[in-house]
Structure 1
């Protein structure tokens, strides 16, 4: 497990500690969760749960229906 050092101004440090304390977790875990959240490569569950929420939204076939046929590419 890696270790890093960060420097915070006093006000930011107080806010960090207060937020971690209110969640009942150590400061290091609070920071790790923030880093995981900000570097996630998948959509959050809240966004994925919206799939299908609009019943009148056209599906992929309807959206692609008017695009016509692909043109055959030239060989290099």
Structure 2
């Protein structure tokens, strides 16, 4: 497990400690969870649950209906 040293101004450090305490976790765990959240490579579950939430939202075919035909590419 790696260790990281960060330098924070006094106000930021106080806010970090208060946030960790409010979440009932150690500061190191709070920071680790924040880093994990900010570097996630997948959509959060709450966002994935929104799929299909708007029944009147048009599908891809409807959205692209008036875009016309693609132009043929030039050969290399």
Range class of TM-score, shorter chain: 0.7 to 0.9
Q: Which runs of 5+ in 1 are unaligned?
A: none
Query: Corresponding residue for 1:28?
Result: 28
Query: What is the TM-score of this pair, normalised by structure 1?
Result: 0.81
Query: What is the TM-score of this pair, normalised by structure 2?
Result: 0.81
Q: Give the secondary structure class of the aligned counterpart of 1:70.
A: coil
Please tell me whether residue 43 in structure 1 is matched to residue 43 in structure 2.
yes
Partners of 2:70 and 2:16 lie apart in 1 by 54
Q: Which runs of 5+ in 2 are unaligned?
A: none
RMSD (Å) for aligned C-alpha atoms: 1.5
User: What aligned pairs does 1:42-61 form with structure 2 within 5 A after superposition?
Assistant: 42-61=42-61
What CA deviation, in whole Å up to 9, does each residue of 1:32-70 have, x standing for no partner? 111111222222222222221111110011111222222
Partners of 1:34 and 1:22 lie apart in 2 by 14
Structure with the largest fraction of helix: 1
